[in-house]
Amino acid sequence: MIEAEIDMKKAILALEDGRTFDCRCFTGSGEAGGEAVFNTSMTGYQEVLTDPSYRGQVVTMTYPLIGNYGVNPEDVESDRIQVSAFVVREYQYFPSNYRSKSSLSDYLKAQYIMGIDGLDTRALTLHLRNSGAMRVFISTEDSDPLSCVEKARLLPSMIGQDLASVVSSRLPYRWMHSGILPIENIETALTSSVWKHRGNLRSVVAFDFGIKTNILRCLDQAGCEVIVVPAATSADTIRSMAPDGIFLSNGPGDPEPLDYAIQTIRELLGFRPIFGICLGIQLLARAMGGKTYKLKFGHRGANQPVKNLKTGRIEITSQNHGFAVDLTTLNPNDAEITHINLNDQTLEGFRHRTLPVFAVQYHPEASPGPHDAQYLFTEFNRLMADQ
């Protein structure tokens, strides 16, 4: 009876290396594909679903019971679901939480996103850890495993994809007190007159490579007036706006093809204090002459240990990235390594030795996740105050 109400459909999940899983779709019929990845968070599935950094990916949650607290309009990180499909061990049909406004199933179906359960997500996660993130195809229509594997192999690789331009806002907008406000006279060029609270709040231009809502909340709470601009905004436009600081956001895909953003950041080095996170640190590193590479299976979850090399403190962090900066390619005369991942010793943060520029690979806005790294927003504010 429950399965009939949820509109359960038998499905196949096929990986490009030939591994397949029988499963069920709890959102009805359909097909979907993308890069198969996993997230180790125990809560926060709605924030995961709406994080633009997951664009083009099929996300598997390692925590087995998903859907138990439903969904609500406050816990979104963008204006839509960004994942290509959502895979869980066991979908919870009846949410119970005072904030819940609807079920996860209804939320997914309303945006035509497949929800998959009834498979061994532990086995799938171990396979991805051993073999690496890879392309996956899911179908309720095609019952031939070999055919589904071939369809997975036809999907585009994450390497070389500029997905930031896909998820970025098309127009600049103002963020004030947890809300988006349109910019008046948007047809005219952005100038320093765009700021309404100059002198009382720190004026920050935030590049939208896939920016999350809670980042904007954190900047707002740190005493910043924020204008969000599209990913392809030019350095000349930023100079015309004359902000106190520049923020480089998170985002999906491979940083290497984002030549337009890398060149813009290079031109802005030394102009104003810069703070970057996630994709932002990768673009900043490339602007400073460094290189990036694809991790085997990435870091995705709210429990990633990072060591702050300046304080010796261990921070538990929220992360979501499949690419990383090759720390051996950063010029030691320019870049000082500040944070290292304790699981695999990959780069998690650096700052410029002479310019007011710093960045981290993880998510200090912690949505979902711990709050160990929120001090970085205060640090950004201090850098702007010192200029």
153, 177, 201 - which closes a domain: 153
Question: Mean pLDDT over residues 237-259, rounded?
Answer: 98
**What confidence tens digit (pLDDT) does each residue in 5-45 have?**
567 899 999 999 999 999 999 999 999 999 999 999 999 99
Question: What's the Rg (C-alpha) of the chain?
Answer: 21
* pLDDT at 2 exceeding the cut of 50: no
Question: Residue 251: is its pLDDT beyond 90?
Answer: yes
Last residue of a domain, one of 128, 153, 178: 153
In this predicted structure, what is the pLDDT of residue 1? 35
Q: How much is the pLDDT for 188?
A: 67
Domain that holds residue 12: 2-153
Global pTM? 0.95
Residue 145, burial from CB neighbour count under 10 angstroms (0-12, 13-18, 19+) = middle
Which of 47, 315, 348, 365 is labelled catalytic? 365
Same domain, 298 and 378: yes
What's the whole-number mean pLDDT along residues 45-74? 97
Domain with residue 378: its CATH number is 3.40.50.880
The encoded tokens of residue 147 equal 């055919």
Q: What is the pLDDT of residues 303-355, one digit of tens each?
A: 999 999 999 999 999 999 999 999 999 999 999 999 999 999 999 999 999 99
Q: Is 327 helix (H, G, I), strand (E, B) or coil?
A: helix
Task: Residue 69: give its domain's CATH number.
Answer: 3.50.30.20
Q: Are residues 192 and 333 in the same domain?
A: yes
Cβ neighbours of residue 265 closer than 8 Å, sequence gap 6 or more: 248, 274, 283, 284, 287
Count of domains observed in the chain: 2
- Does some domain include residue 366? yes
Strands 20-25, 9-15: parallel, antiparallel or unpaired by DSSP? Answer: antiparallel
Residues contacting residue 312 through CB under 8 Å, at least 6 positions apart: none
What is the average pLDDT across 173-197?
A: 84
- For residue 158, is it within any domain? no
Identify whether residues 137 and 276 lie together within a single domain.
no
In the residue annotation, 365 being an active-site residue is answered as yes
Positive/negative CA dihedral, 69, 70, 74, 78: positive
Per-residue exposure over 280-306, b if at least 16 CB sit within 10 Å of its own CB, e if not: bbbbbbbbbebebebeebbbbbbebeb
- Mean of per-residue pLDDT scores for the chain: 95
278 part of the active site: yes
Domain identity same for 171 and 242: yes
Is 159 inside any structural domain?
no
More confident residue, 246 or 177: 246
- Locate tokens 């602007």: which residue? 287
* Position 316 in a domain: yes
Structure tokens at 131: 């073999």
Cβ atoms of residues 334 and 285 within 8 Å = no
Q: Which of 77, 278, 315, 348 is catalytic?
A: 278
**By C-alpha distance, which of 243, 378, 269 is closest to 331?**
269
Q: Which of 42-56, 135-149, 175-189 has the lowest mean pLDDT?
A: 175-189
Residue 180, Cβ neighbours under 10 Å: how many?
13
Is the distance from CB of 245 to CB of 276 less than 8 angstroms?
no
Packed helices 259-268 and 279-287: angle between N→C axes, nearest 10 degrees: 70
Same-domain pairing of 243 and 114: no
Residue 226 domain flag: yes
Torsions phi, psi of 4, nearest 5?
Answer: -65, -40
Among 113, 133, 153, the domain-final residue is 153
Examine the domain organization and report whether 134 and 226 are in the same domain: no
Check whether residue 311 and residue 243 sit in a common domain: yes
The SS3 of residue 56 is coil
Q: Is residue 206 part of a domain?
A: yes
What string of DSSP letters covers 27-48? T-S-EEEEEEEEE--SS-HHHH
Answer yes or no: do 181 and 128 share one domain.
no
Is residue 363 annotated as a catalytic residue, yes or no? yes
Q: Which of 5 and 358 is assigned the larger pLDDT?
A: 358
Q: Residue 224 domain-assigned?
A: yes
User: 213 and 288 in one domain?
Assistant: yes
Based on the fold, state whether residues 116 and 213 are members of the same structural domain: no
Catalytic hit among 127, 299, 339, 363: 363
pLDDT-based confidence at residue 187 (cuts at 50, 70, 90): low
Backbone torsions φ then ψ of 178, nearest 5 degrees: 65, 35
Q: Are residues 74 and 209 in the same domain?
A: no
Reference 335, options 279, 387, 293, 274; nearest CA is: 274
Give percent above pLDDT 70 in the chain: 97
pLDDT at residue 3 above 70? no
Residue 290 included in any domain: yes
Co-location of 16 and 64 in the same domain = yes
